[in-house]
Each structure stands twice: as C-alpha cells, then as structure tokens.
C-alpha cells in the first residue's frame, strides 16, 4: 500500500520583534484591498500599540513605483510598459516619494511598521533586494506574501484589466497568457505577479527565507488574514475590522458590457484620459455602485482547458514553494486543488437592463462634465493653441466607421457597443 506524501506542517504565525517592518507585497487579487482598508481605518488607534501603518493613504503605491519602476522586461530585455493598470499608465513617480516612506519608517524607531502595497510584487530581483536593504535589512524586514488559488485569481485579474481598458475576451486573454510566447501581451504584469513560486523565491533571496511568510487565504474564513496580521503586528485579536469599501467583482454580463465599451472607445480614437473619465469613472463606477447583481447572474467561468492548465501550474508552483524553506500559514495544498465538479460551460454574457441603465447614466454624466469643462475652457481661451484643448479632444487616427475621433460622446459610444453586443448574441 502506497503511503501518501506528507504535507508540511503550517508554521505558527510569527510575531515580528519590536522595531520590525512587516512588508506585505500582495500580489494583486489576494485580499489586499480589504486588508489595506482595515489598517488605514485603524490609523488613529494603532499608536496605542506602538504600530505604524506606513504612508498616508490606503496603500503607498507611488512610493513603491518610484523605487521599483513601471516597466517590465520584454523580449531581448526590451522594456515593456503595462497599459492596463491605472497606476502603471502614468510616468514613474519621483524618488522623493520613496525616500519619504523610508524616512517615515526610520522615524518609527522601535515601533512595528506595516507597509502594504501589492505593487511591490512587480519588482525585479535587484529592486526587491534594494527595497529590503533600504527598509533596514533582512533581520528587520519580514516579507508577507498572501496567496489564493490561481483558478480564483484568473477571472478576477482579467476583470481588473477590463476595468482599465482591456479589449480581449476572457478566453482570448487566457490563450495569450498560457499559449502565446512570450506570455506578456497584452498584460506583461500578470506572470510577474502571479508566477507565485518565482515571486516568493525572489523576495526570499532578498530578505532570507526565515524572514518571509506565505499566508494562504482560507476561502471559508474571511477574517483569517486580519487575525494573522494582528498576531504578526502584536495587536489584540479583533482589533482590525474591514471597512465599508465595496470591491465586488463583476458578473460576466457586466464585464462584457465594459469590454465592449473599451472596444468601441478605442475604435473611435478616444484618448486614455477620456476613456478613463467616461467608461471607467463614469459607466463602470456607477454600474458597480448602483446595481447589485442577482445571485443567479452568470459569473465569469474559466473554460475546462484553462482549468487544467492552471491546476497543473499550481501544483508545480506549490511544490517549488515547499522547497524554499519559507514560513507557511494556512493550507498550501489548497492552492492546487481542482474543483470537485467540472466547470459549467460559459453562459451567454448579457448585462441586465438595470445594470446597463446605470452604466448609461454614469457615462452620460461623465460626458456632460467633460462637455462643461470644454465649454468653460473655450470661453476663457477661444483662440488658444492646440495644447490648451482638453486631453479628450486630442487628435487620433480616424476610426474605421468614418466618425471623427474623440467625438460622438457617451451616447454614441453606448449605442455602438450595444449594437456590437447584439450582433455577438445573434451569432
């Protein structure tokens, strides 16, 4: 009779010594927003326990990107920009942002400092080593990596890219990530963040495996990560609570509606700024804020071939993580667990009328705001140079339908997206 392989016993949660830095690097889509909200809302209560939450906002994104950069290595070492991330669309922040964060940590003295931003997961090897060294070195810095199953991350990360302008369907994007070398288009950030064994090896080399903890999320216990971070920071149980920020995922219909808006705004030659205001901050935000999906609305379903790919890769990553000698809290084997039942066939992605209505209202309000600002600018400078025009009206290549780029507004955008969606449904 064959004896099944034994699983490593989860390590007890380490309490970081006084004066230590708890550096939480994500990666994305592993409960980071909720954790950061809990620490941010507790800022005024943390000093009583000699704990500092670094930065001034929910997370110090600008400080992290100032240090690690906003580009990724492409083929033959060519730098590649990520255009489907709100923060990485911008120029690299100035180094004073990073120096300010380091100075805040130094001023904390022997108090524990918690630093949390998933953008550290974008760091290359050299940048990771420098981050650890500049925060006080491996003996003082304890890195925390939070993990969820890759199968849960895939649809969630695709949705995030769609929010930021991705035009690929879910299945097309999966094909790019799994089958089309060098696996960096259209989202070069994905495998830097979510090749979890390499991510952990990179930061273990920077801080030392004894100074890195992998926290495997328990999908059945939403409070787990709060309790673990409380223990690490020397806070009493129950101290951290989730805030009210809603970071719900979209249904497949909602995501498809936004994706079609991305396709149409790109076809019309809209600038990044205009797309951001009308689609992301207008249509998408209002739809997510004002519409609550029913329980039976179809979620984004991963096709069977991708389930097999992701499960096999998760097994490979889990075995590699086990061999790194890092601390593990939670069930590492759960990261590679295959669903008990075969995934359902992807349902037709249609957004309910109520969701679409909220998106229309949001886009129209955003477009109206842009029109008002443009009119005010025209009154102030009726004969001004092109540089004085709003970014939304900048010149772009003529769209295939012959409409003028940057024109048409939210109504035309939504009407065109709706027509394209109906054509997809009728095929």
pLDDT tens column, 74-127 = 777 788 988 888 888 888 999 999 999 999 999 999 999 999 999 999 999 999
Of the two residues 296 and 129, the one the predictor is more confident about is 129
Q: Please, what is the average pLDDT of the chain?
A: 85
- Confidence at residue 427, expressed as pLDDT on a 0 to 100 scale: 40
Where in the chain is CATH 3.40.50.300? 21-247+303-336
- 35's tokens: 């954790």
Q: Please, which pLDDT band fits residue 423 given cuts at 50, 70 and 90?
A: very low
Of the two residues 425 and 309, the one the predictor is more confident about is 309
Task: Report whether pLDDT(425) > 60.
Answer: no
Burial profile 355-367: b = 16 or more Cβ within 10 angstroms, e = fewer: bbebbbbbbbbbb
Task: Report whether pLDDT(213) > 90.
Answer: yes
Chain segment 382-414, per-residue pLDDT in tens: 755 444 444 433 333 444 444 444 445 665 665
- Confidence at residue 344, expressed as pLDDT on a 0 to 100 scale: 56
Strand partners, 354: none
- Confidence at residue 296, expressed as pLDDT on a 0 to 100 scale: 85
CA angle at 253 for the pair 250 and 257, rounded to the nearest 5°:
95
- 240's tokens: 């951290």
How many angstroms separate the Cα of 415 from the Cα of each of 164, 276, 326, 360?
20, 18, 53, 9
- Confidence at residue 11, expressed as pLDDT on a 0 to 100 scale: 56
User: Which region among 50-64, 204-218, 336-350, 367-381 has the lowest average model confidence (pLDDT)?
Assistant: 336-350
- Confidence at residue 4, expressed as pLDDT on a 0 to 100 scale: 41
Of the two residues 259 and 345, the one the predictor is more confident about is 259
Class of domain 21-247+303-336: alpha beta
SS (H, E, C) the chain: CCCCCCCCCCCCCCCCCCCCEEEECCCCCCCHHHHHHHHHHCCCCHHHHCEEECCCCCCCHHHHHHHHCCEEECHHHCEEECCCCCCCCCCCCCHHHHHHHHHHHHHCCCCEEEEECHHHHHCCHHHHHHHHHHCCCCCCEEEEEEECCHHHHHHHHHHHHHHCCCCCCHHHHHHHHHHCCCCCCCCCHHHHHHCHHHHHHHHHHHHCHHHEEEEECCCCCCCHHHHHHHHHHCCCCCCCCCCCCCCCCCCHHHHHHHHHHHHHHHHCCCCHHHHHHHHHHHHHHHHHHHCCCCCCCCCCCCCHHHHHHHHHHHHHHHHHHHCCCCEEECCHHHHHCCCCCCCCCCCCCCCCHHHHHHHHHHHHHHHHHHHHHHHHHHHHCCCCCHHHCCHHHCCCCCCCCCCCCCCCHHHHHHHHHHHHHHHHHHC
Closest C-alpha to 406, from 390, 389, 391, 393: 393
pTM of the model: 0.84
Task: Report whether pLDDT(349) > 80.
Answer: no
Rounded mean pLDDT, 18-31: 97
- Confidence at residue 55, expressed as pLDDT on a 0 to 100 scale: 96
- Confidence at residue 388, expressed as pLDDT on a 0 to 100 scale: 44
Quick check: bond before 170 cis, omega within 30?
no
Task: Report whether pLDDT(41) > 60.
Answer: yes
Rounded mean pLDDT, 348-352: 65
- What percent of the chain has pLDDT above 70? 81
How far apart are the C-alpha atoms of 281 and 415, rounded to whole Å?
Answer: 19
């Amino acid at each position: 009779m064959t004896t099944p392989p034994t699983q490593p016993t989860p390590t007890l949660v380490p309490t970081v010594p006084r004066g230590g830095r708890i550096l939480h690097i994500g990666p994305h889509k592993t409960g980071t927003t909720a954790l950061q909200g809990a620490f941010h809302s507790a800022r005024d209560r943390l000093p009583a326990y000699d704990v500092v939450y670094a930065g001034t906002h929910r997370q110090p994104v600008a400080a992290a990107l100032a240090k690690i950069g906003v580009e990724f290595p492409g083929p033959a070492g060519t730098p590649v920009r990520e255009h489907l991330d709100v923060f990485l669309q911008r120029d690299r922040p100035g180094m004073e942002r990073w120096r300010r964060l380091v100075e805040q940590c130094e001023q904390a003295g022997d108090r524990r400092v918690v630093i949390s931003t998933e953008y550290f997961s974008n760091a290359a090897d050299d940048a990771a080593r420098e981050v650890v060294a500049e925060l006080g070195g491996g003996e003082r810095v304890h890195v925390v990596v939070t993990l969820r199953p890759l199968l849960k991350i895939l649809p969630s990360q695709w949705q995030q890219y769609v929010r930021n302008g991705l035009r690929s369907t879910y299945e097309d994007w999966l094909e790019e990530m799994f089958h089309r070398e060098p696996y960096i288009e259209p989202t070069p950030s994905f495998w830097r963040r979510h090749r979890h064994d390499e991510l952990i090896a990179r930061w273990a080399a920077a801080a030392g495996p004894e100074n890195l903890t992998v926290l495997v999320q328990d999908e059945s216990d939403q409070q787990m990560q709060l309790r673990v971070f409380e223990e690490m920071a020397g806070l009493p149980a129950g101290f951290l609570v989730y805030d009210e920020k809603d970071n719900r995922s979209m249904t497949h219909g909602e995501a498809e509606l936004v994706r079609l808006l991305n396709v149409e705004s790109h076809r019309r030659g809209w600038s990044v700024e205009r797309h951001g205001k009308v689609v992301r901050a207008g249509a998408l935000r209002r739809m997510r804020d004002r519409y609550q999906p029913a329980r039976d609305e179809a979620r984004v379903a991963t096709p069977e071939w991708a389930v097999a790919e992701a499960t096999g890769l998760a097994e490979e990553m889990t075995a590699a993580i086990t061999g790194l000698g890092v601390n593990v809290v939670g069930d590492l084997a759960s990261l590679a667990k295959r669903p008990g039942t075969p995934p359902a066939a992807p349902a037709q992605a249609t957004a309910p009328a109520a969701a679409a209505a909220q998106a229309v209202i949001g886009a129209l309000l955003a477009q109206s705001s842009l029109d008002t600002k443009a009119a005010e600018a025209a009154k102030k400078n009726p004969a001004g140079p092109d540089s004085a025009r709003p970014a939304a009206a900048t010149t772009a290549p003529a769209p295939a339908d012959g409409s003028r780029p940057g024109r048409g507004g939210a109504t035309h955008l939504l009407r065109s997206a709706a027509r394209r969606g109906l054509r997809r449904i009728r095929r």
